[in-house]
A and B are shown apart, each in its own frame.
Chain A
Amino acid sequence: MPVPQVVESFAGSVNRVTLGATKDDGGTRNSTVTVGGAKNVVYGGSAEDAGETPVVAMDVLDSKPTDWPDALIEPYKDVIDSPADWAKKCVEEFGAEMICIKFEGIHPDKGDKDADHAVKVTEDVLKAVAVPLVLWGCGNDEKDNQVMPKVSGAAKGEKCLIGAVTEDNYKSLTAIALADGHFLITQAPLDINIAKQVNILASDMGFPLERIVTFQSTGALGYGIEYAYSIQERQRLAALAGDKMMAMPAICDVGYEAWRAKEAKLEDAPGWGGAADRGPMWETATATCLLQAGVDIIRMRHPRAVATVKNFIDQVWKSNS
């Protein structure tokens, strides 16, 4: 039977962003990562409209984590004291396409480490692995403004993704990221209007929109994922409608959020299955759910979840390229 055509004529598309600088490009990375480029909603239209394949960025903490559950520590127990070895393990054993250094330990309440420490971690990781890096502050404005510009400088020319800047704290990091040739993460608290506002603010400082990746904030499965889900769908629709201030690829923080959930970290939960299975499952489920709404870079932690999600992405995105 002939079936009517579903034709959507979208004026816009998601920006294509290539992270990481190789030798030819003035950096030391062996590989680059390109994300974005979608010309339709997820699974809308034809497979060619889907754009680039989403990627997983695996988290490496600058300091030994203090509050990780055993199930999450286990795969990293031999490298947990060394960010460089940790990053190497993620790339070589778990196939990470990107590494996200999360500078948790610089937070005044979580170690209060100084800029020298953060710079050394950045340099060590840059030497240890050759994939593109994400450099992510601790969320304390004052400390991030002290430390992250130096981190940016230590990775100058490597085309890292650095952040996150917010509506209330964007100036110093935006300026230094621009100067050092990095890409910028703009963050909003699950509020699409603020998301647009931060992009406008960064853009007003002369930061090119094509070098921005948005972070809408992430809710884990069972803990507000529906808000993140709908905001990602609306961001994609805004990009397709031609809104240049919303046409950035999206990053989400699945690892941290999923492992905060009771379902992931509770040791003993009769009827819920073993803790060793539950944590990776919660992370997998959070990531796959957000992929349906339209995200481009997923920060993750457990290698088993990473493997399942990468396999899912391969099946769904790569099978037609």
Chain B
Amino acid sequence: MALTGLDIFKLLPKTNCKKCGMPTCLAFAMALAQKRAKLDDCPDVSQEAKDKLAAAAAPPMQKVVFGTGDAQVQIGQETVLFRHEEKFHSPTVLGASVSDKLAGDELLDRIKAVNALQFERVGMKIGARAVALVNDSGSAETFAKAAATVKGNSELAMILVTQSTEAMAAAAAQVKDGMPLLANATLETADEMAKIAKANGCPLVASAESIEDLADLSEKIKAAGVENIVLELKSSGLNEKLFDHSRVRALGLRKVFRPLGYPIISFVTEGDADAQAASAISLICKYSGVVIVDMVEPYAFLAMLTAVMNVFTDPQKPVQVEPKVYSIGEPDENSPVMFTTNFSLTYYTVESDVEASRIPSYIIVVDTEGTSVLTAYSGDKLNEKTVADAMAKFGIENMVKHRKLIIPGYVAVMSGKLEEATNWEVMVGPRECSMLPKYLQEVWN
């Protein structure tokens, strides 16, 4: 939360010297609050005031990065509680755990299974972005050795999970050039863990059972010289955790309570893959920068990753698909041709229903600046000219022998003009694309 004019006024020299160009210090303070003036304009301001004002201007949630190279991940810097207020900024990093009790091929297989959790969806690559090595063995030596194996066999950003300072020191020293996230420090181990994090240049997870303890702990770690902190709430159950996460988010962003102005990490270990995915999705929606699950099922990851993608979409910007001709199935020169708009939701709904018809088809996507059929038509972005231009530009006439064009039922009114503009026969399709399978099977078989 930004300081008010009065808050700033208290920090100024209150001499009304006019050197800043304003008649009084209070006027200058008001101008500062509205960002119409710069603090540098005041020659007499104290260092203390400068520090306080700089701190107030800092983003309410710290950015934290871990991992290196292309696999480096960034979390934090969120600004709102609800995505419609602006947007969520740093998509949750999803990952899976690997136990250091595994050895040899079993360890390698698990690492490979985590690495393999990569998918392509609506033209974007999504996948697991972190691997968390858990010190189940209790041995520092085993943990350090397994950490080296994980690092040697996975590009993904690494998280080292142990309560033992001895194990953490041994493993962090092994893999520090991969900049792993160290999980975790508790009130008991804070000093020692902070020392390890500092020595190896790694970010550190602060883990506590209550919000109050967590605030103490993050301050303690910060005082020990570690700036990059991630919070973990060891709440008693999922229910309590979700309420706690909401409170931490509100405290960090709305109250700018700095001890809680860090991203959150969640570990999901209970239940089968389906139950873990359900918990993980709730923790993604409710403010986790990182979620680590204890399974490697592709079907569950595809769903969780899609949830991240959707929840972190910018609500102000419609997602668009590239305007071009899309082939559904393996269409040939006798296949049906239809068009729709480049609003991704419109396109993918049409695509899904055309697929369901099992009739190979061409879909021409007209550039309507990411608007739906009716909106584009009302806004004159979908008319006989834009459709004819798209057809010419993409060379649809060379792809099919016939000259029949199926148009969305909602724009039936443009049929006449479109026939004139293209010399194609216009066939009016259904209004709702869920009726497309039936329509295509009737008119095209």
Contacts and interface: CB of A to CB of B under 8 A. Distances in A.
Q: Do A and B bind each other?
A: yes
Interface of A: 1-4, 6, 41, 43-44, 46-47, 67, 109, 219, 221-227, 229-230, 233-234, 237, 260-263, 265, 271-274, 277-278, 280-282, 284-285, 288-289, 291-293, 304-305, 308-309, 311-312, 315-317, 319-320
A293 B315 CA distance: 15
Contact of B311 (A219, A226, A265, A311): A226
Measured as residues with beta carbon below 8 angstroms from the partner, the interface class of chain B is 35 or more
Contact of B274 (A219, A221, A308): A308
A279 to B, nearest CB: 9
B370 to A, nearest CB: 13
B89 interface: no
Contacts of A67: 356, 437
Contact of A230 (B82, B239, B254, B281): B82
A231 to B, nearest CB: 9
B306 interface: yes
B277 A285 contact: yes
Contacts of B355: 262
A285 B307 contact: yes
B345 A261 contact: no
Interface in B248-297: 250-251, 254-255, 257, 259-260, 271, 273-275, 277-279, 281-282, 285-286, 297
Interface stretch (B138-146, B161-169, B172-180, B208-216): B208-216
Interface in B302-330: 302-304, 306-307, 309-311, 313, 315
A225 B246 contact: no
B298 interface: yes
Contacts, number: 161
B239 A315 contact: yes
B306 A312 contact: no
A293 B297 CA distance: 26
B299 A277 contact: yes
A3 B257 contact: yes
Contacts of A312: 275, 278-279, 282
Contact of A271 (B119, B238, B282): B119
> Which of A109, A309, A315 has the most chain B CB within a 10 Å cutoff?
A315
B310 A221 contact: yes
B315 A285 contact: no
Contacts of B211: 3
B215 A3 contact: yes
Contacts of B254: 6
B125 interface: no
A1 B215 contact: yes
Contacts of B122: 222
A261 B353 CA distance: 9
B428 to A, nearest CB: 15
A224 B281 CA distance: 16
Contacts of A292: 281-282, 285-286
B438 interface: yes
Contact of B303 (A3, A229, A271, A282): A282
Contacts of B255: 4, 6
Contacts of B310: 221-222, 225-226, 229, 289
Contact of A320 (B239, B273, B281, B311): B239
Nearest to A309: B278
Contacts of B285: 229, 289, 292-293
Residue from A43, A263, A284 having most chain B Cβ neighbours under 10 A: A43
Contact of A1 (B212, B275, B278, B297): B212
A316 B281 contact: no
A3 B251 contact: yes
10 contacts: A43-B246, A225-B307, A226-B83, A227-B345, A273-B299, A285-B277, A309-B278, A311-B275, A319-B239, A320-B239
A316 B282 contact: yes
A293 B284 CA distance: 12
B238 A316 contact: yes
Given A1-B212, A262-B355, A291 B307 contact: no
A229 B282 contact: no
B348 A43 contact: no
Contacts of B282: 288, 291-292, 312, 316
Interface string B233-253: 000011100110111001100
A227 B319 CA distance: 12
Given A288-B281, A316-B239, A272 B299 contact: yes
